[in-house]
Amino acid sequence: MRIGIDIGGSHIQVGLIDEFGNILAKKEKDILKEDKLEIQNKIEETIIKNILEIIEEQKINILDVKFIGIAFPASFRNGEIGLSVNLGANGELLRKNIQTHFSIPVYIRNDAKCAAICEKKYGSLKYYSDCIFLTIGTGIGGAAFVDNKLFKSPNMDKFKVGHITIQKDGLKCRCGKKGCFENYASITALKRNVTKEFNIEKEITGKELYDFIIKNENNEKMNIIINNYIESLSVGISNLINLFEPDAISIGGSFVYYKDIFLERLKLKIQQNNLLYKDNIPEILLAKFKNDAGMIGASQIEN
Ligand SMILES: [Zn+2]
């Protein structure tokens, strides 16, 4: 048995998971606005409390747990997970404190990499040896698998796909560069373009954005936004196809909610953009696991 944990921007999931990726027990807690003032302590307390509850309810001993794996929204470099700017929390400190508390190994990795591991082992990419997983939501993250192995080194997670350049002299990115993929093809970018063009409230929820796009799907302005979005997404994906020559690409994150509007258009655009592989375009799939992918993947990251 393992414990898998996913720490998102607004939500913490803690699960007891077997070696085959099955969830045996699960606890979830929202991160509230007031929690964010002392986010580090809140995350730590929540994890410890939930693990103790699961152990008690399942009538097991912590020593029955092989390790604790954490999916965390930051990069893994030089053997350590970095600070999460969005969350305002220190992943390495969290890992150390949880390990000290329970005295069993605690591993921590980038959240998109964990979701990719879940999709590769148990989900949409299970039967593909060379494949790519992309999570498209607030930003764009993901991972590549070459010959069934995650493309990484022991101390680096690699594949910063959200920051490949798709537009020369393009929009300024939070990373400091211009024209990054996620500035054009994330759901955040889509939201920015829709709210700006239609002059509506910028702080709308994902559901409100989706409803607004559906309602205005046949509007000419909306059509231009959608076409530009698909074009940007296909440029980034085409670059990945040429680099990795995958058999399949699976997309997760909030993008999956838009499948009816985007998926067929995206497939067509990728076909048009890929002159090199016109007869052999990889399968474009959607992730099988939704909110549990990070937690399940985190429970399978033994290094
Ligand atoms: Zn960037």
Q: Read off the pLDDT of residues 256-273 as tens digits, 9 standing for 90 and up.
A: 999 999 999 999 999 988
What's the rounded mean pLDDT across residues 126-138?
96
Give the whole-angstrom CA distance, residue 215 versus residue 237.
28
Residues 277 and 138 in one domain: yes
For residue 286, what pLDDT is reported? 97
Query: 181 and 88 in one domain?
Result: no
Q: Is the pLDDT of residue 196 over 70?
A: yes
Q: Are both 43 and 181 inside the same structural domain?
A: no
Domain with residue 84: its CATH number is 3.30.420.40
Residue 25 lies in a domain: yes
Residue 119 lies in a domain: no
- Residue 136 near residue 185 (C-beta atoms within 8 A): yes
In this structure, which residues have their CB less than 5 angstroms from ion ligand 1? 163, 173, 175, 177, 180
Judgement on whether residues 109 and 128 belong to the same structural domain of the protein: no
Please, are residues 162 and 205 in contact by the beta-carbon 8 Å criterion? no
116 Cα–ligand 1 center, Å: 21
- Rounded to whole angstroms, the maximal C-alpha distance in the chain is 60
Ligand 1 centre from 144 Cα, in Å? 19
Inside any domain, residue 246: yes
pLDDT in tens, 101-116: 999 999 999 999 999 9
Instruction: State the distance from the centre of ligand 1 to the C-alpha of 190, rounded, in angstroms.
Output: 16
Enter the pTM of the model.
0.92
Position 139 pLDDT exceeds 70: yes
Domain annotation covers residue 31: yes
Instruction: Kindly tell me if the per-residue pLDDT of 85 is higher than 70.
Output: yes
Same-domain status, 50 and 94 = yes
Q: Region 137-163: what's the mean pLDDT? A: 93
Sheet harboring 149-150: ordered strands across?
Answer: 149-150, 140-146, 131-136, 248-252, 283-286
Token couple for 298:
């985190």
Q: Which pLDDT does position 23 carry in this prediction?
A: 97
**199 & 258 share domain:** yes
Q: How far is the CA of 216 from the centre of ligand 1 (A)?
A: 30
Contact between 73 and 37 (Cβ < 8 Å): no
Find the 159 Cα to ligand 1 centroid distance in Å: 13
Asked if the model's pLDDT at residue 50 lies above 80, the reply is: yes
Q: Are residues 17 and 149 in the same domain?
A: no
Q: Do 118 and 296 form a contact (C-beta atoms < 8 A)? A: yes
pLDDT at 126 over 70: yes
CA of 195 to the centre of ligand 1 (A): 22
Query: Both 191 and 258 in a single domain?
Result: yes
Report which DSSP code applies to 135: E
Domain identity same for 86 and 22: yes
The token pair at 209 is: 């954005």
Same domain as 137, residue 275: yes
Number of domains in the chain: 2
Categorize the per-residue pLDDT at 303 as very low, low, confident or very high, splitting at 50, 70 and 90: low
Q: Does residue 133 sit in the same domain as residue 258? A: yes
Does the residue 303 lie in any domain? Answer: no
Query: Nearest 10 degrees: CA dihedral of 221, 224, 226, 229?
Result: -130
130 and 277 part of one domain:
yes
The CA distances from residue 127 to 54, 123, 145, in Å, are 33, 9, 12
- Lowest-confidence pick of 81-90, 142-151, 280-289: 81-90
Instruction: Give the residue numbers spanning the domain of 84.
Output: 2-114+292-298
Query: What mean pLDDT comes out for the span 240-269?
Result: 94
